[in-house]
Amino acid sequence: MKMRIQPRLSKRQEMSELTSRLRRHSRKITGPREAILKILQKKACPLTTREILAATPRNQCDLATVYRSMHLLEEMRMVKRVDFGDGTARFELVGGGTREHHHHLVCNRCKAVVELDECFLPEIESRLAAANGFTAVTHKLEFFGVCSRCQKHSPTVNRKP
């Protein structure tokens, strides 16, 4: 099932910024890596490796190359792995500002994704860390529901009061 996205307004990283990050880590700017970065740069939602492969120009790379590239980019903290509870890994670019940390709202039916800039958890993180003697506490949080479009097509959707 294809994913729809409602993009958020954010500054996309320039391609030169992305390639210079690779160079700083002594990594080559190969054709497949550049194609993958361009795809992730243009898309406003996390993509699976197969979606990335489908968006690459024909014969640019194969699935194994996409897997290796995503592993490298994740290791370099240029991409972040996201799991929407279906066991499928998705990837999105990690950038400065609000792109660094955000959450998603996912429709259980059509798989539409809305990226949320708002995060109310830093205070909770701090409290949990202090109470339990932890440091460097982080979190991952995704929200799931039924979008308004799916509600219109199926009016019997259970709605919370």
* pLDDT, the chain, mean: 80
Strand partners, 107: 145
Whether pLDDT at 14 is above 80: no
5-153 belongs to CATH 1.10.10.10: yes
| Of 2-16, 47-61, 107-121, 141-155, minimum mean pLDDT range | 2-16
Crossing angle of helices 63-75 and 31-42, in 10° steps, is 70
Whether pLDDT at 2 is above 80: no
| Of 57-61, 82-86, 94-98, 107-111, minimum mean pLDDT range | 94-98
Domain ranges of the chain: 5-153
Q: Which two tokens stand for residue 99?
A: 């792109």
Whether pLDDT at 144 is above 60: yes
The CA-atom distances, in angstroms, between 146 and each of 3, 20, 30, 89, 107 are: 13, 40, 40, 21, 5
Measured between alpha carbons, how far is 17 from 3 in angstroms, rounded to an integer?
28
Q: What is the pLDDT of residues 55-91, one digit of tens each?
A: 998 888 899 999 999 998 998 888 888 888 888 899 9
Q: What is the pLDDT of residues 15-42, one digit of tens each?
A: 777 777 787 877 888 888 888 888 988 8
pLDDT of residue 17: 76
Measured between alpha carbons, how far is 142 from 115 in angstroms, rounded to an integer?
10
Which secondary-structure segment (H or E) carries 34? helix 31-42
